[in-house]
Structure 1
Amino acid sequence: MTHIAVWIYPQCMASPVTAPLDVFAIANAIWIAQGQAKEQRQPLFSWSIHSADGAAVKTPTGVVLQVDGDFSSNITNNIANDIQADVLMLPGIFLGNGMQDLWRTLDELRPYFPLLREKHAQGSLLVSNCSASFVFAEAGLLDHGHATTAWWLERVFKARYPQVELRLGEVLDEYRDIVTSGAASAYMNLALDIVRRFAGPEVTASVAKTMLIDANRATQTPYMNLSGMTQQESQSHADDLVIRAQKWLRQHRHLAFRLPALADYLAVSERTVIRHFHQALGTTPASYAQLLKIDLAKRLMETTTLTLDEVAERTGYTDLSSFRRLFKRHTSLSPAAYREQFKPQKSVAAATTTTAATTT
């Protein structure tokens, strides 16, 4: 039986704890129902929840999670023993108050970093959801390796861990038996990956269908707010010139980008603008303006029925083929595929009412 230990902490989100356990429970049920051999009539997975001190944890949403022991214990069938957990899972950290929540959680977990490294050395598969990848990076487990995390934490992660290659587009990324996942609901794909490793593709496919999980979601790129990342912008730099430039560019994102116009507004030279952007954001004004335009195009395709020509025009592009290429480069989807995936959903109530009116 594969045992999964879940470490929780006061700032963790509740769903990355409870939802994966539901996935494992359904995997057990499917495994038993489909099993022919005697050994397949027993559950595949067991799990336990742990806190630093062995006490229940109240999450930021007010949900109280009961635990089976502290971080140092492994629990199987509610009996504490020295059996090594096959999987050690860390849920995402809720950052309702910004980066201070993340830094505080990292400091609280710091005394347990040696234990994390020990578990990894003993053979446990370490997995994290969303912002919890910072825990592995902070513990030195990802040094000179690679990882993914919540897309909107890109700048913060890169600045703090330059020795880790950030593969931000990936929903899941593995480095030396350490699996990190993308933003928030990627915990469902993370749970499916654990099922796949220990139960095989057939059970995994059945679980995905039963729980309506998109098992083929391989990238979080289409979901990125490429330009805004507003949770980061107020904390990633304090350059007043760049802050004013960002505001001006957002206000003029419907127009073709002109560096001289931006420099005139800021009353500085073009070289000064470029230098400040490079120092504060690690990019150029033109590239940043391009991201703003792509984000505007995404919102227009999500919320309107404008033609692609009209969308391109409203984002300052006159060359439609160029716009198509840029859009796919930044979202990994063609404009048509993006619109199909993210188009507004019809109201269920409205559809039902329409059907009823038609049949009466």
Structure 2
Amino acid sequence: MTTPLPVVALIVYPNFSPFHFSVPYLVFNAEVAEGRLFDLKIVSPGARSLAAERAMTVHPDGGLELADLADIVVVPGWHDLDTPPEPELGAALARAHARGAHVVGLCYGAYVIAYAGLLDGKRASTHWMAERDFSQRFPRVKLDMNALYVDEDRLITSAGTGAGLDCCLYLVRAYYGPKIANKVARTMVIPPHREGGQAQFIEQPVAASTEDSRVNRLLDYLRANLGKQHSIDELAARAATSRRTFTRHFQKATGMTLGDWLVNERLQQSRELLETTSIPVERISELAGFQTPLSLRQHFKKRFHVSPRDWRRTFGPKSTAEQG
């Protein structure tokens, strides 16, 4: 007797993103030599045909009743972060989770699961650009911005578009093992596996000036001299304040201790050098003010969850990709 294929309900919504829709569509509609892996159903509330952002309309296989039969329910993004899902969709997600299905929110799809109340008290991930907004809207959710995807209690959420692929392949591995998941990845010409715990590659904002002119001048000095070692006593003297006053003013102005601020700036400079130059990591550690290459590697790995070498491989000029 043939074992039924796992059923995937792929939810579409008004003005959906064709790209976010296509990621789970391609993965869960894939066919390998062993045959088809999933029974993919395209679902919309009320079984309505829905238009994408432009130039594309999807005619679903049915309404939310199909989600009640699914082993995996996927929400591929969301069109408006201010708009909660229709009550029927939220209820369908809750029913799916209650009966043991995986409920997946890719990128901004995490908002839909959060609006449904399913993520309260649980870890989750979403696109880094929404970190502040998501945290304010859903304070009971433990947002993890150092994750490509998070699986807690069969509630799976992912970061941006590339992480959506990793998240879907993670589910293929969960159902069929790494060999089949790697076959699917190869047919899509993408890397077979990235762990969910890898950091999102977040573009750090330009450091803002503070309202304290003395601290601003000091920050300019420090940025121009990151390669040097700095003590609180030296900097307090430069700012013409006591050590205690300097420490208080610096913390109030930047929201960080001097040590944390220096590490943050040194990591940012290290990233820029890795991305734009062929300078060896040993020299970068000197220029950025890390006392040893080991110190740079440890701080870099702790912050970005990848090594400087891997960062350069991903973001550096092609001619320098194998260096570092």
- Identical aligned pairs, as a percentage? 24
Deviations 1:264-288 (A, max 9, x none): 59xx96424423544xxxx546424
Q: 1:297 aligns with which of 264, 270, 275?
A: 270
Mapped partners of 2:260, 2:6: distance in 1 = 47
**Counterpart residue identity of residue 273, structure 2:** L
Name the counterpart of 2:90: 113
Pick aligned residue for 2:171 from 183, 186, 194: 194
Deviation per CA, 1:268-314, whole angstroms, max 9, x where unpaired?
96424423544xxxx54642443233122112112211132442344
How high is the TM-score relative to the length of structure 2? 0.77
* Unaligned ranges ≥5, structure 1: 33-41, 76-82, 95-100, 347-360
Structure 2's unaligned 5+ residue stretches are: 320-324
Separation of aligned partners in 2, 1:159 and 1:192: 30
User: Which deviates further from its counterpart, 252-261 or 310-319?
Assistant: 252-261
Q: CA distance change for structure 1 residues 293 and 89 in 2, over 3 Å: closer, same or farther?
A: same
**Deviation sequence 1:76-111 (CA, Å, 0-9, x none):** xxxxxxx522211011246xxxxxx42x23x35466
Query: Could you say which residue in structure 2 is the equivalent of 1:255?
Result: 225
> Are positions 1:224 and 2:202 aligned together?
yes
Task: Identify if the C-alpha distance between structure 1 residues 114 and 23 changes in structure 2 by more than 3 Å, giving closer, same or farther.
Answer: closer
Aligned partner of 2:77 among 92, 106, 109: 92
Is residue 249–residue 289 contact of structure 1 (8 Å, CA) maintained in 2? no
Q: CA–CA distance in 2 between the matches of 1:277 and 1:122?
A: 48
Task: Give the TM-score taking structure 1 as reference length.
Answer: 0.70
Q: Which residue of 2 aligns with 1:68?
A: 60
**Where does residue 350 of structure 1 map in the other structure?**
none
Name the CA distance, whole Å, in 1 between partners of 2:27 and 2:118: 27
Residue 183 (structure 2) aligns with: 206
* CA 200–345 in structure 1, closer or farther in 2 if over 3 Å, else same: same
Distance in 2 between residues matched to 1:325 and 1:173, nearest whole Å: 24
What is the alpha-carbon distance in structure 2 between the residues aligned to residue 87 and residue 149 of structure 1? 19
- Matching residue of 1:13: 17
The answer on 1:46 being equivalent to 2:40 is yes
Residue 155 to residue 25, structure 1, CA distance change in 2 (3 Å): same
Compare the two structures and name the one with the higher helix fraction: 1
Contact 1:30 1:203 in 2 (8 A): no
Do the aligned partners of 2:128 and 2:200 also contact (CA within 8 Å) in 1? no
- The 1:119–1:321 alpha-carbon spacing in structure 2 relative to 1, beyond 3 Å, is closer
Match runs of 1:159-170 below 5 Å: 159-170=136-147
Counterpart in 2 of 1:55? Answer: 49
Contact 2:51 2:58 in 1 (8 A): yes
- Per-residue CA shift, 1:230-264, capped at 9, x if unaligned? 7xx99xxxx9739x979985895353377757x95
Instruction: Give yes or no for contact 1:254–1:293 (8 Å, CA) kept in 2.
Output: no
Match status 1:215 vs 2:192? yes
Match of 2:104 among 127, 152, 173: 127
Number of residues of Structure 1 aligned to a counterpart in Structure 2: 306
- RMSD of the TM alignment (CA)? 3.8
Distance 1:336 1:85, change over 3 A: closer
Query: Mapping of 1:176-187 within 5 angstroms?
Result: 176-187=153-164
Matching residue's letter, 2:178: P
Deviation at 1:139, TM superposition (A): 2.1
Distance 1:223 1:338 in 2: 9
